[in-house]
């Protein structure tokens, strides 16, 4: 795929190959076991940190590789070769959802204490925004933080938090001003060994089983002022800024995951026979393959276009929202039809599609739903109200 795109240089291709080899050789052999056990070991973070996969676009002086967004693209695409969307999500939370904002606005001390060990894989990171009463409506969060001397005292609850049961720290959104809806939210770096913090339950999901998704509770948790990220009261805007990278990698990895299922389906259609010919011999199925290839190419082009703008620092909320919307919808449609083209083999766990079909549903919800993407797009084009 990369040969068509001039932004991928030889170094990107080497990085791409290294991630792919790791995913195929070190992760994929455990896919069935980890998915069944609804778990994967913390050591995966450390191994990927040692190989330089967790800091591809972070500065060299922080232990990263100093690369551009195209390294992140390679990571997000190639890690899908592990066939574990839950693991892919957990790693991308570490690299592109919970930590970019630390790199952008964190102090030197915050970067040393949180970002550098996240890049090396010594610390696991989570992003804590959603609450039982506030998911799409980020400005509706109520987890409170009140000042007590130079400390913040945090009380409240978060839910659906990826890496929530195992995180060493959480990039956490709290409300520091109850009377200011948008300007009353602050981001803090929250170490999970803080007294008063507890993990409620690990949530049972319909897919992405090997990743942990948790409810988190905060009861009089004391956090020093030095853990505030950026400026007090600016948290909502930092979260919106951070969402851009999160949604972009979601679009890229979702499209890559769907492409892998489509590639396997092409092989299956060439191997399986019915009515005296291979399934690939039926024009109706070949045309569906052509349609899916076209849809995924369109999805990839849009995601790459958004990545290019993002890489150059051009405002691209509209393009990123479109890319996530298209990736979620096309990916689901393609994988659903791949399941159909596998017949009974599509519906059983031993086949290559059933798990991907369950996993793919998430992209239309997590990191901002389809409806929220559409809200952003109509605002960006100045349509309505
Ligand atoms: C597996 C998983 C992992 C997750 N990981 C994390 C994580 O690591 N960190 C984190 O903070 N969050 C995480 N989330 C939460 C996720 O971001 C939210 O679920 C998502 O943003 C939707 O919020 P909600 O569930 O509260 O839905 P709601 O906001 O209650 O929405 C319900 C429905 O109403 C629609 N809706 C809401 N507002 C509007 C509107 N204005 N116009 C039209 N329709 C609307 C929505 O699109 C949706 O269809 C995760 C969720 C899942 C399922």
Q: Are residues 42 and 145 in the same domain?
A: no
- The residues carrying an active-site annotation are 246
Q: What is the value of pTM for the model shown?
A: 0.96
| Residue numbers of the domain that contains 218 | 126-233
Residue positions counted in the chain: 385
Q: Per residue in 64-81, pLDDT tens?
A: 999 999 999 999 999 999
332 pLDDT exceeds 80?
Answer: yes
Alpha helices in the chain (DSSP H): 10-22, 31-37, 43-50, 69-78, 85-92, 100-105, 108-110, 116-120, 235-271, 283-311, 317-341, 344-347, 354-360, 370-380
Contact indicator for 330, 255 with CB cutoff of 8 Å:
yes
Q: For residues 159 and 215, what is the distance between their CA atoms, to the nearest angstrom? A: 4
Whether residue 385 lies inside any domain: the answer is: no
Domain end, chosen from 123, 155, 186, is at 123
CATH of the domain at 316: 1.20.140.10
Reported as a single tens digit per residue, the pLDDT across 112-133 is: 999 999 999 999 999 999 999 9
Instruction: Pick from 126, 172, 365 the residue to mutate for probing ligand 1's pocket: most ligand atoms within 8 Å of its CB.
Output: 365
Residue 14 lies in a domain: yes
Looking at 105, 123, 141, the residue that finishes a domain is: 123
Residue 88 sits in a domain of what CATH number? 1.10.540.10
pLDDT above 90 as % of the chain: 97
16-64 per-position pLDDT tens digit: 999 999 999 999 999 999 999 999 999 999 999 999 999 998 999 999 9
On whether both 247 and 358 belong to a single domain, the answer is yes
Domain end, chosen from 165, 200, 233, is at 233
287/218 same-domain check: no
Same domain (yes/no): 243, 355: yes
Residue 37 falls inside a structural domain:
yes
Residue 3 is predicted with a pLDDT of 54
| pLDDT tens readout for residues 202-235 | 999 999 999 999 999 999 999 999 999 999 999 9
Indicate if 69 and 133 belong to the same structural domain: no
Kindly state whether residue 294 falls inside one of the protein's structural domains. Answer: yes
Give whole-number Cα distances, 177 to 158, 174, 223, 232, 234, in Å. Answer: 18, 9, 16, 10, 11
pLDDT digits over 247-298, tens only? 999 999 999 999 999 999 999 999 999 999 999 999 999 999 999 999 999 9
Q: Closest Cα to atom 11, ligand 1: which residue?
A: 129
- Our count of domains for the chain comes to 3
Distance 136 CA to ligand 1 centre (A): 5
pLDDT higher than 70, residue 148: yes
Q: Which residues line ligand 1 (CB under 6 A)?
A: 93, 127-130, 135-137, 160-162, 205, 208, 213, 362, 365-369, 371-372, 375
* Residue 244 and residue 213 share a domain: no
Distance from residue 220's CA to the centre of ligand 1 (Å):
27
Q: Which residues pair with 189 in a beta bridge?
A: 171
Whether residue 217 contacts residue 157, with contact meaning beta carbons closer than 8 Å, is answered with: yes
pLDDT at residue 351, rounded to an integer: 80
Mean pLDDT of the chain: 96
């Amino acid at each position: 795929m990369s040969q068509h795109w001039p932004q991928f240089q030889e170094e990107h291709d080497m990085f791409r190959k290294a991630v792919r080899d790791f995913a195929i050789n070190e992760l994929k052999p455990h896919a069935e076991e980890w998915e069944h056990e609804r778990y994967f070991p913390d050591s995966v973070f450390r191994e990927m940190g040692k190989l330089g996969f967790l800091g591809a676009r972070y500065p060299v002086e922080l232990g990263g590789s100093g690369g551009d967004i195209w390294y992140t693209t390679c990571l997000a695409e190639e890690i899908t070769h592990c066939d574990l969307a839950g693991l892919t999500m957990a790693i991308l939370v570490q690299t592109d959802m919970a930590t970019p904002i630390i790199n952008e606005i964190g102090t030197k001390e915050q970067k040393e204490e949180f970002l550098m060990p996240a890049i090396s894989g010594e610390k696991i990171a989570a992003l804590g925004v959603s609450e039982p009463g506030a998911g799409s409506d980020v400005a509706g969060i109520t987890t409170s933080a009140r000042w007590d001397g130079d400390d913040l005292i945090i009380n409240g609850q978060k839910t659906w938090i990826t890496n929530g049961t195992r995180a060493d720290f959480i990039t956490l959104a709290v409300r520091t001003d109850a009377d200011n809806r948008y300007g009353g939210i602050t981001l803090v770096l929250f170490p999970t060994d803080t007294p008063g913090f507890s993990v409620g339950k690990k949530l049972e999901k319909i897919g992405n089983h090997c990743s942990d998704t948790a409810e988190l509770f905060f009861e009089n948790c004391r956090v020093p002022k030095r853990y505030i990220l950026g400026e007090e009261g600016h948290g909502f805007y930092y979260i919106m800024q951070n969402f851009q990278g999160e949604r972009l990698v979601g679009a890229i990895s979702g499209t890559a995951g769907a492409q892998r299922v489509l590639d396997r389906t092409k092989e299956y259609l060439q191997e399986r026979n019915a009515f005296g010919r291979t399934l690939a011999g039926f024009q109706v199925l070949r045309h569906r393959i052509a349609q899916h290839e076209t849809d995924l190419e369109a999805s990839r082009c849009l995601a790459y276009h958004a990545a290019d703008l993002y890489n150059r620092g051009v405002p691209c909320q509209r393009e990123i929202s479109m890319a996530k919307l298209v990736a979620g919808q096309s990916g689901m449609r393609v994988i659903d039809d791949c399941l159909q083209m596998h017949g009974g083999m599509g519906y059983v766990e031993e086949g290559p599609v059933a798990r991907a079909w369950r996993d793919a549903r998430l992209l239309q919800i997590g990191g901002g739903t389809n409806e929220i993407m559409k809200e952003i797009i109509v605002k960006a084009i100045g349509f309505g109200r």
